Homo-oligomer: A and B are copies of this chain.
């Protein structure tokens, strides 16, 4: 058990979910501290029936804290993680800043739990679009060795934070009333539209979000030979990212075998009956920690290909749930010692 824990970015969309999960999952601790930047410090929150005041995120805030779970923008994480590490506080960090640092393990507990224990103070949790994909890949990779992944995403506005969700609702209302609306976070209207860009232009025509799916996947599996070709698209859906995924494996995996492999994997739920109109849809998967898989079928264009549809709550398994699971891993490893 860690005596003193902290939530960094405690008032954000993911921070709020992390708090909720620590309550629900009865995460063990003696003392809990909530930290946020100037804008939110001073906010009153209730946790396990007790009132807390959110404290200012500053170096000294980490004195005496053993474990911090952080969900902040990248520049904030760049700054605060070293403050914590210098004070012997381990950080599970949800931001994108540390993920590709060679000294920082990037962990999905169902895939590479051992990597989490081999940390130097910071453990990173992957990008939301990566996490659900790699969890879906895991049983297929174990059974048939994945050589290549082609993925097209359908990403919800909650991935752009609370303001992204507000933009969708307010933009949709305005559209239906034939009124103008000035978007806060999206460069183009997202209501009743699609934006085929998430993140910035990064590498040879690919966006930063797309390159995360390439590099993070290779790092999590510890295998740079897995080739990934992603297309990331923002869709007018409030919550839950969906992905159309095609994998090519060294050893053929039939649709029936894949269905069994998925069903036997902790963290995955299979909903797959096309004739009955049953498959995962974002509106149904919100609020669930699982990665949902359906439309499982063999590729028509390649002998060893397998296609499927994957939906998951990007704020949960894509963010808060995975971070809390990493923290639980650390607690269990302490208990084992």
Contact = CB atoms under 8 A, between A and B. Distances in A.
A295 interface: yes
Q: How large is the interface on A (under 10, 10 to 19, 20 to 34, 35 or more residues)?
A: 35 or more
Contacts of A297: 204-206
A127 interface: no
B205 A295 contact: yes
A326 interface: no
A78 interface: no
A227 B242 CA distance: 25
B301 A229 contact: yes
A334 B60 CA distance: 86
B235 A154 contact: yes
Nearest to A236: B236
Given A205-B274, A205-B297, A279 B196 contact: yes
A274 B201 contact: yes
Contacts of A42: none
A244 B297 CA distance: 19
A10 B134 CA distance: 50
Contacts of A299: 229
A239 to B, nearest CB: 9
A263 interface: no
A274 B307 contact: no
Nearest to A239: B192
A255 interface: yes
Contacts of A201: 274-275
Given A150-B246, A255-B205, A192 B295 contact: no
7 contacts: A154-B235, A172-B192, A193-B282, A196-B295, A197-B277, A197-B295, A204-B298
Given A192-B238, A193-B282, A236-B236, 14 more contacts: A154-B154, A192-B236, A192-B237, A193-B237, A194-B235, A195-B281, A196-B295, A201-B274, A201-B275, A206-B297, A227-B300, A229-B299, A233-B244, A235-B236
9 nearest A-B residue pairs (beta carbon): A205-B297, A227-B301, A152-B152, A152-B244, A229-B301, A193-B283, A201-B275, A231-B244, A201-B274
